[in-house]
Structure 1
Amino acid sequence: MPLRAIAYASEAVASLSAERLRGLVNDAVAFNEAADITGVLLFDGHRFLQYLEGPQQGVDAAWRRILDSSSHHSVVELNRGRIGRRQFSHWRMGWLQVEHTALGRVALSDWTGFVRSTASGIPTSALDRLQLLTAPLLRADQGGPMMQAAPAGGSGS
C-alpha cells in the first residue's frame, strides 16, 4: 500500500492551554493508532508545524480532523504527496516544544518531494531539519507519544 505524507503550519488560538494541548496530542495518538498514522508535531507556544505519514485513507482522515480543529487557524499546507518509507515510524504522534526560530527554519525549508538531502551531509531539506531536531529526543523505548525539547514556555508532558 503506497504511503502518503502531509506537512502543514498553523497558528494556535490564543486560549490554547497546556492542558488542552496535552489532550489534543493524546487524542491524536489514539486516532493515529487506529488510522496507522505516524508523525511529529512541533509547537513554539504560538505556532504549530506537523508532519504526518501513513496510508492515503488515514492521512486524508487526519487532514479533515486538522482542518476542523478549533485549536488553531491560518492552516498552510507545506506539501502533500507520496513517500517511499516512513520517517517517524517510532511515533504515533511525537511532539516537541521548540523555540520559534527552530520551527521557522523547518517551516521555511524545502518540502519538495519529502526528500532528505544526502549529498552534502548538511541538513538542507525540511525532512533533514525535522530529523535533526527530533533525533536527540528518541527515547530508548521508542514508543512514547510525547517528548519535550528545551521549553519555549510551558510543560510538554
Structure 2
Amino acid sequence: MKYIVYVSQARAPFSIDQLTDLLGRSRSRNTKEGITGILLYRYSDDFDKGYFIQAIEGPEAELDALWRRISGDSRHHTIVTLSEGFEEARMFPNWSMGFKNVEPGDLADVPGFADIDKDSFWENLRSGGMPEALDLLRGFYDGD
C-alpha cells in the first residue's frame, strides 16, 4: 500500500460549504479507487489563510493518479511532500477521507506544526526540516 503525506497552502480560505463539497467529491472518488486517508484544514485568522495537511494511501497506480490531480489543483500552492512510501496495511482503513477542521489549539502541542501559519514553518520545510506528519495525522484517526 503506497502512501503520501503533504502540506500545502490554500490560494484563498475555504468556506465550510467549499470544504463540504471537496470532501463529498473526494470521498466518492476515493471509494471507487480504493483510496483512504485523512485531511486536516487549518484556517489562520491572523493571516486570513488556509493550510492543508493530508495523508492519502492506496494502490500505487491509483494513488499516483490522485497525486497528479492534487499536485495540479489550482486551489492550493506550495505543496510540500513530507513523507512517501509503502506500508503493509492501511493506516486509515475506515476513512475514504477523514476530515478535521483544526483550531489553533489542536496543533499547539504538536512539534513542527504549531506554527504552520508562520513563515518560519515553510522556511524550515525548504531547508529540509520535515515534521513527523504521520504521527500528527494518526492522532486524529479514531478508526470510525
Tell me which amino acid in the other structure corresponds to 2:80.
V
Deviation digits for residues 119-151 of structure 1, max 9, x if unmatched? Answer: xxxxxxx3333222333xx5xxx3xxxxxxxxx
The CA distance in 1 between the partners of 2:54 and 2:101, in whole Å, is 12
Tell me which amino acid in the other structure corresponds to 1:59.
L
> Is 2:14 the counterpart of 1:16?
yes
Find runs of 4+ consecutive structure 1 residues off by over 6 angstroms: none
Deviation digits for residues 40-61 of structure 1, max 9, x if unmatched? Answer: 0000121000000110011111
Deviation digits for residues 88-124 of structure 1, max 9, x if unmatched? Answer: 000000110112461715x8533xxxxxxxxxxxxxx
TM-score of the superposed pair, with normalisation by structure 2: 0.74
Q: Helix, strand or coil: the match of 1:50? A: strand
> Is 2:51 the counterpart of 1:44?
no
Query: Match for residue 90 of structure 1?
Result: 94
Do 2:39 and 2:98's aligned partners in 1 also have CA atoms closer than 8 Å?
Answer: yes
Shift of 1:79: 1.4
Do 1:5 and 1:52's aligned partners in 2 also have CA atoms closer than 8 Å?
Answer: yes
Query: Match for residue 132 of structure 1?
Result: 139
Shift of 1:65: 1.2
Which of 74, 77, 87 is equivalent to 1:73? 77
The CA distance in 1 between the partners of 2:141 and 2:87, in whole Å, is 19
The CA distance in 1 between the partners of 2:21 and 2:29, in whole Å, is 12
Shift of 1:16: 2.8
Alignment RMSD: 2.0
Indicate the structure with greater strand content. Answer: 2
The CA distance in 1 between the partners of 2:104 and 2:78, in whole Å, is 17
Shift of 1:15: 4.9
Tell me which amino acid in the other structure corresponds to 2:21.
G
Q: How many residues align?
A: 119
Q: Percent identity?
A: 35
- Relative contact order (alpha carbons < 8 A, sep ≥ 6): 1 or 2 greater? 2
Query: Match for residue 109 of structure 1?
Result: 131
Q: Helix, strand or coil: the match of 1:86? A: coil
TM-score of the superposed pair, with normalisation by structure 1: 0.68
Do 1:44 and 1:98's aligned partners in 2 also have CA atoms closer than 8 Å?
Answer: yes
Do 1:16 and 1:71's aligned partners in 2 also have CA atoms closer than 8 Å?
Answer: no
